[in-house]
């Protein structure tokens, strides 16, 4: 009788944990998807004929927003690392409202001074990933939850662009007011989803035992971690910078590339391709949740990153030589790049902390890598525009992905060797 009761209790506990994981995954997905409505819709506006300093107004706005994102990542190294549990929702709500307000002032500010408001919009939104992820890290199910949350910015990037295009065509809203009005559609859902995030229970003792305790990291703790893993972090950050640059070019100039490829009139193409990419990446990322041994999962993450780079590089080579069309190329490079990019945002650093039993949080590591990633992204966009590189975005992107593949594959192998040797030496008591 007692054995039956214990078995029933165990099954009930498993069902409860599964329900919590599903609730957390769906809520995190919806929350961060709503955030994208305040970030990406403006990129479907072309602002035809607007040029300043020899650069299109659209490009200046994109660079301004990415620069704001970059600044927030550097600020977030400390802010997210030291983020405490209580009051997180207030910080998130304040930042989203501030970003939405910046879009209002963008609508009423003459060009080119709207750049100021897009920079502020990017700065405010740049903190949201770390805040939302802090609700779900440090759990046995974090790989699954994080993967679901991470694919939100693939799906929502396409979905919110389609929403922005719809607002302009159906409501006859101008390009300048479209970003603010698209945000209007999502502000209430964001608040609802954010309050739902507050209902997610904290990690239980089993989670802590398997993934280590997550706590704020002060300056000495951050410096100690960087000093101990300096070489490995350098390689990882370099790979991540390359991925961020290519991901950002695809994300910010997707409308331009679809137009160059002959799909300018197809408003659904954003959602169609990004939904397929989201499902592919989600399936791959969530499968890692079944791997309980952290070091093995960490090695598998490297393998996934390697395969993603290979897919992106090979498809770009085939496209440039005329073996596949533009639609299939955009689909394959999107899936490949996100296979490599997303692990850093939900699994790579999560498992790294668990492997080496680091008392800290994933947010610090993500923002450390993101800061340099967006710095690289801004630098490349400025280089293309101000060094007067006469090349279409689709050509620039396809060539860049090929170079990224060679460098990224080498960096991924070096990272795997470094951290694997470090783990072996730690287990042997040599460190």
What Rg value do the Cα atoms of the chain yield, rounded? 22
* Confidence (pLDDT) at 265: 65
Q: Do residues 133 and 363 make contact, with C-beta atoms less than 8 angstroms apart? A: yes
DSSP string across 273-287:
HHHHHHHHHHHHHHG
Compute φ and ψ for 85, nearest 5 degrees.
-65, -45
Exposure on the CB side of residue 210, measured as CA atoms within 13 A:
17
| Residue 389: Cβ-neighbour burial (10 angstroms; 0-12, 13-18, 19+) | exposed
pLDDT at site 160: 83
> Per the structure block, which two tokens stand in for 330?
């955009």
Length of the chain equals: 431
At 393 the three-state DSSP class reads: helix
Q: Do residues 313 and 324 lie in contact, with contact meaning Cβ atoms separated by under 8 Å? A: no
Cβ(333)–Cβ(312) under 8 Å?
yes
Rounded Cα distance, 31 and 190, in Å? 6
- Compute φ and ψ for 318, nearest 5 degrees: -65, -40
Contact 305, 412 (CB under 8 A): yes
DSSP-based three-state secondary structure for 56: strand
217, 303, 409 from 416: Cα distances, Å? 25, 9, 11
The pLDDT of residue 98 is: 96
Residue in this structure with the two tokens 């919009």, named with its chain if needed: 121
- Which residues, in sequence order, are CB contacts of 20 under 8 Å at separation 6+? 141, 200, 201
Cβ neighbours for 378, distance < 8 A, ≥ 6 positions apart: 63, 66, 67, 70
Tens digit of pLDDT per residue, the chain (431 long)? 555 555 565 677 677 888 888 898 889 989 998 998 898 888 788 787 788 887 888 888 988 998 898 899 888 888 887 777 777 889 999 999 999 999 999 999 998 899 999 999 999 999 998 888 888 887 777 777 877 877 777 777 777 888 888 888 888 888 899 999 999 999 999 999 999 999 888 887 777 777 677 777 778 888 888 888 889 989 998 998 889 888 888 877 777 888 888 876 666 676 677 778 878 887 887 787 778 888 998 999 999 999 999 999 999 999 998 889 888 898 899 889 988 988 887 788 888 888 888 777 777 788 888 888 888 888 877 777 677 666 788 888 898 899 989 999 999 999 999 999 999 888 766 55
Structure token digits, residue 235: 């390689």
Check residue 361 and give its pLDDT. 74
Q: Which residues pair with 52 in a beta bridge?
A: 55
CA distances 276 to 35, 220, 333, Å, are 21, 43, 12
Residue 65 contacts residue 119 (beta carbons within 8 Å): yes
Alpha-carbon dihedral sign for residues 91, 96, 99, 101 = negative
Q: What is the pLDDT of residue 106?
A: 94
Q: Which three-class secondary structure state does DSSP give residue 51?
A: strand
CATH number, span 24-44+52-427: 1.20.1250.20
pLDDT for 144: 78
Partners of residue 214 on adjacent β-strands = 360
Cα–Cα distance, 76 to 131 (Å, whole number): 10
Q: CB burial class (10 A; 0-12, 13-18, 19+) of residue 90?
A: exposed
Q: Which residue has the tokens 């029933």?
A: 8
Q: Which of 249, 370, 383 is nearest to 316 (CA)?
A: 249
Q: List the alpha helices (DSSP H) in 142-268.
A: 142-170, 178-197, 205-211, 219-228, 230-252, 254-260
Q: Please measure the distance between the N-terminal and C-terminal CA atoms of the chain and give it in whole angstroms.
A: 49
Calpha distance 151→112 (Å, rounded): 33
Compute the distance between CA of residue 168 and CA of residue 170 in angstroms, rounded to an integer.
Answer: 6
Residue in this structure with the two tokens 């977030």, named with its chain if needed: 76
Cα 410 from Cα 416, distance rounded (Å): 10
Query: Residue 214, SS3?
Result: strand
């Amino acid at each position: 009788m007692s054995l039956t009761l214990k078995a029933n209790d165990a099954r009930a506990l498993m069902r409860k944990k599964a329900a919590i994981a599903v609730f957390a995954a769906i809520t995190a997905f919806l929350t961060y998807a709503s955030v994208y409505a305040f970030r990406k819709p403006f990129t479907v506006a072309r602002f035809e004929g607007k040029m300043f300093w020899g650069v299109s107004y659209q490009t200046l706005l994109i660079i301004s927003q990415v620069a704001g994102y970059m600044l927030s990542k550097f600020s977030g190294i400390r802010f997210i690392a030291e983020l405490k549990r209580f009051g997180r929702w207030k910080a998130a709500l304040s930042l989203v409202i501030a970003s939405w307000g910046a879009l209002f002032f963008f609508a009423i500010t003459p060009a080119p001074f709207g750049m100021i408001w897009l920079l502020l919009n990017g700065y405010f939104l740049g903190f949201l990933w770390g805040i939302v992820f802090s609700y779900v890290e440090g759990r046995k199910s974090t790989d699954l939850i994080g993967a679901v949350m991470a694919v939100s910015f693939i799906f929502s990037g396409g979905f919110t662009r389609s929403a922005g295009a719809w607002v302009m065509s159906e409501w006859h809203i101008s390009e300048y007011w479209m970003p603010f009005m698209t945000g209007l559609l999502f502000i209430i859902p964001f608040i609802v989803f954010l309050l739902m995030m507050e209902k997610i229970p904290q990690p239980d003792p089993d989670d802590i035992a398997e993934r280590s305790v997550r706590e704020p990291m002060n300056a000495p703790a951050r410096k100690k971690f960087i000093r101990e893993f300096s070489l490995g972090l350098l390689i990882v950050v370099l790979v991540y910078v390359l991925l961020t640059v290519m991901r950002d070019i695809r994300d910010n100039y997707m409308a331009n590339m679809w137009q160059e490829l002959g799909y300018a009139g197809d408003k659904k193409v954003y959602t169609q391709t990004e939904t397929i990419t989201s499902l592919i990446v989600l399936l791959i990322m969530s499968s890692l949740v079944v791997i309980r041994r952290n070091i093995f999962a960490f090695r598998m993450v490297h393998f996934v990153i390697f395969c993603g780079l290979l897919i992106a590089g090979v498809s770009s080579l085939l496209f440039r030589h005329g073996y596949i069309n533009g639609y299939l190329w955009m689909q394959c490079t999107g899936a490949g790049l996100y296979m490599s990019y997303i692990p850093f945002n939900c699994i790579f650093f999560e498992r790294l902390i668990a492997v080496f039993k680091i008392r800290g949080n994933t947010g610090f590591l993500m923002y450390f890598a993101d800061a340099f990633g967006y710095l690289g992204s801004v630098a490349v966009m400025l280089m293309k525009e101000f060094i007067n590189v006469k090349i279409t975005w689709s050509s620039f992107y396809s060539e860049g992905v090929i170079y990224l593949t060679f460098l990224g594959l080498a960096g991924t192998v070096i990272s795997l060797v470094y951290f694997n040797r470090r783990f072996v030496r730690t287990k042997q008591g040599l460190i």
